[in-house]
Amino acid sequence: MVTLYVDDLAVSVEKGSTILDAARKLGIYIPTLCYHPDLTTFGGCRVCMVEANGKLVTACRAPVEEGMVVRTDSSAARQVQRTVVELTLSNHNGDCLTCVKDSRCKLQEVANYVGITPERMAMLRSAVPEVEVDESNPFFKLDRTRCILCGICVRTCQEINGVAAIDFGFRGHKTTVVTIGNKGLAESRCESCGECLERCPTGALARKDYEQPSREVKSVCPYCGVGCGIYLGVRGDRVVSVRGDKDSPVNSGQLCVKGRFGYHFINHPDRLTAPLIKRDGVFVEASWDEALDLVAARFLETAKHYGPDALAGISSARCTTEENYLFQKLLRFLGTNNIDHCARL
């Protein structure tokens, strides 16, 4: 263990911890933008600059040392923090009211902490890039005018998902998050898992149809057999969002494209709520007894005429393992091994 002093408070942390870890243990706030606990540290945003033993360092990277004296609010640290945030804002689309991340935005939080005045901002020249929003992905958009190049999405795609559909492209003030050929996300290898937008500190990566839920309900994703823990966001009687449950031992908060974005069927008008039987070429609502009798009769009839191998069954990935077990039992009882289900992504 290493003991150090952050703003005069002593704290002991594991060797190899960072100043940020130590400060957080003490409950001391240090602003960060590019830091994310799930990812490797990057150190590019420079807002977590603090003074350690008289030298300016990034708290997210600097390892603690025995007896180290850290000042999170020295005038030198404050000056860099403030300039960095001002610069970031000069480069950022500041139309907050139309941004889905408004009030949940990390940049807003950090700007509030360092203190940004309208007089200072008026002294700076606007350097917001003029780029079209990438709307090609059906579920979310990439608005580069709101991107602060923290690289969290890039690292997420590489480290969490292993897809690496995006990377930093170009350099200098032209640096931007790119896919190959700088084409839309839909044309890339992106699997739309949405892990990046869950971590994006600003509104650069955001859901297209975002609605703020009024309450959340803990549940399990119904799609495949993995059983990811989720929170369904509910508004009135509608499900308006899904997010991964970080505490779930199954997925630690991660989700795939279906789990995260495929919830619209719940409230969809076309969703089946009762069995349908086709009569004279038209589907007509029927009772379960009617439907099951019809299925049983047709199964027996088909097996009799063409043999049991003429039967096949496909079950749903939304079924539980037990349900699937029963389903295959049923088909084998009918004498066929033609069984499959759609639990593939």
- Contact residues for another protein, defined by CB under 8 A: 42-47, 49, 56-58, 61-63, 76, 79-80, 83-84, 87-88, 90-91, 123-125, 127, 148-149, 151, 158, 163-175, 178-183, 188-189
To another protein, the closest distance from the beta carbon of 151 in angstroms equals 8
User: What is the closest distance, in whole angstroms, from the C-beta atom of residue 231 to another protein in the complex?
Assistant: 31
Surface-to-core class of residue 1, CB atoms within 10 Å of its CB (0-12 exposed, 13-18 middle, 19+ buried): exposed
Residue 248 falls in which region: left (phi positive, over 0), alpha (psi -120 to 50) or beta:
beta
Task: Output 87 or 284, the one with its CB closest to another protein.
Answer: 87
CB atoms within 10 A of CB 324: 17
Question: Residue 241 CB, nearest distance to another protein (Å)?
Answer: 28
Report, in Å, the least distance between residue 75 CB and another protein.
11
In contact, 99 and 204? CB cutoff 8 Å: no
In the complex, minimum distance from the CB of residue 80 to another protein, in angstroms, rounded to a whole number: 4
Q: Which two tokens stand for residue 252?
A: 């630690």
Q: Is 21 or 216 the residue whose CB approaches another protein more closely?
A: 21
Q: Which two tokens stand for residue 14?
A: 């594991």
Contact 212, 190 (CB under 8 A): no
Residue type, position 160, single letter: I
For residue 64, the minimal CB distance to another protein (Å) is 11
Q: What is the separation of C-alpha 92 from the centre of its chain, rounded to a whole number of angstroms? A: 22
Structure tokens at 330: 């049923």
Least spacing, CB of residue 275 vs another protein, in Å:
47
Cβ 203 to another protein shortest distance, Å: 18
Contact 221, 259 (CB under 8 A): yes
Helices and strands in the chain: count of H runs, count of E runs: 9, 16
Q: Report CA-CA distances (Å) from 39 to 30, 190, 207.
A: 18, 19, 22
Q: How far apart are CA 33 and CA 112, in angstroms?
A: 13
Type of residue numbered 268: H
> In this complex, which beta carbon is closest to another protein, that of residue 201 or of residue 222?
201
CB closer to another protein, 145 vs 175: 175
Helix 75-90 vs helix 106-114: crossing angle, to nearest 10: 140
- Please identify, using beta-carbon distances, which residue of 22 and 242 lies nearer to another protein: 22
Diameter over CA atoms, the chain:
89
Residue 339 near residue 331 (C-beta atoms within 8 A): yes
